[in-house]
Amino acid sequence: MPSPSARRYLMCRPTHFDVVYSINPWMDPWADPDKPVDTALAVAQWEQLKETYLGLGHTVELVEPVEGLPDMVFAANGGTVIDGRAIVAKFRNTERTGEEPAYRAWLAGAGFEVRDAEYVNEGEGDYLLAGRWLLAGTGFRTDIRSHAETQEVFGRPVVSLTLVDPRWYHLDTALTVLDGETIAYYPAAFSAGSQAVLRRLFPDAIIATDHDAQVFGLNAASDGYNVILPEAATDFAAALRARGFNPIGLDLTELLKAGGSVKCCTLELRG
């Protein structure tokens, strides 16, 4: 039976959140010339996510938002933290490179052994720990050469997975880890070879529907029992209940305007 475990998360309040450029298919700064994003609403939705984590007994720590970095709310991209060691992100798009020193400083100040990435590496956006495996995405953002680099740092076997649809540009938009043995994923986001690898490693995975994928349902966070996910992912929620998990749906649609949701806002800190 699924069972929860206390988690330690790093988040960043979306004080400066906006959509002023486009670096993925979800971002459309021209959707409303007057105000494409309601920043106050984004903050309110983010606060609900933070309070949900706290209500479940998890620890939430905060990195200070930096003016001029509207995507800094997506803390998952700031790095990967396992066994007290951290690799700080190296972003592909110049619009986000300013986030790197902010996350580096926070992680070092928190006592983690910090290493800068040599190759483009977008943190937990493309690295998800699943039991003994470190699943690693590539295709749109993270350089596949970083997979070997990351394996050397953490000493964990890395499984490379190729994303083929730009709408699911990070691994955490197309796959979620539910516990040490169970994942859910959207097959169409992956190459044929990567689909075969996932079937072999996780034969009992939950397969997401097109609808779930379209509403970013797989951009979820699990503590092993409670699964926080976009409330619109109703098929996924039903599948989770059938497996003994407890889905908790939230509305983060304002943040989805920048191509992010629950997991994007959440960097897990593993000591």
**Residue 3 belongs to a domain:** no
**Residue 2 belongs to a domain:** no
CATH of the domain at 69: 3.75.10.10
**Residue 200 belongs to a domain:** yes
Give the domain extent around 222.
8-268
Residue 211's pLDDT is 97
Neighbours of 178 (CB within 10 A): 22
Alpha helix stretches (DSSP H) within the chain: 39-55, 99-109, 145-154, 192-201, 210-214, 234-242, 253-256
Residue 131's pLDDT is 96
**Residue 1 belongs to a domain:** no
Residue 29's pLDDT is 87
Give the N- to C-terminal CA distance of the chain in Å, as an integer: 25
CA atoms within 13 A on the CB side of 239: 19
**Residue 137 belongs to a domain:** yes
pTM, 2 dp:
0.97
**Residue 143 belongs to a domain:** yes
Residue 167's pLDDT is 97
Tens digits of pLDDT across the chain (271 residues)? 899 999 999 999 999 999 999 999 999 987 776 678 999 999 999 999 999 999 999 999 999 999 999 999 999 999 999 999 999 999 999 999 999 999 999 999 999 999 999 999 999 999 999 999 999 999 999 999 999 999 999 999 999 999 999 999 999 999 999 999 999 999 999 999 999 999 999 999 999 999 999 999 999 999 999 999 999 999 999 999 999 999 999 999 999 999 999 999 999 999 9
Tokens encoding 46: 């983010």
Q: Is 70 left (phi over 0), alpha (psi -120 to 50) or beta?
A: alpha
Q: Are 264 and 255 in contact (CB under 8 A)?
A: yes
**Residue 90 belongs to a domain:** yes
**Residue 249 belongs to a domain:** yes
One-letter amino acid of 220: A
Please give the positions annotated as active site: 170, 264
Residue 31's pLDDT is 74
Count of domains for the chain:
1
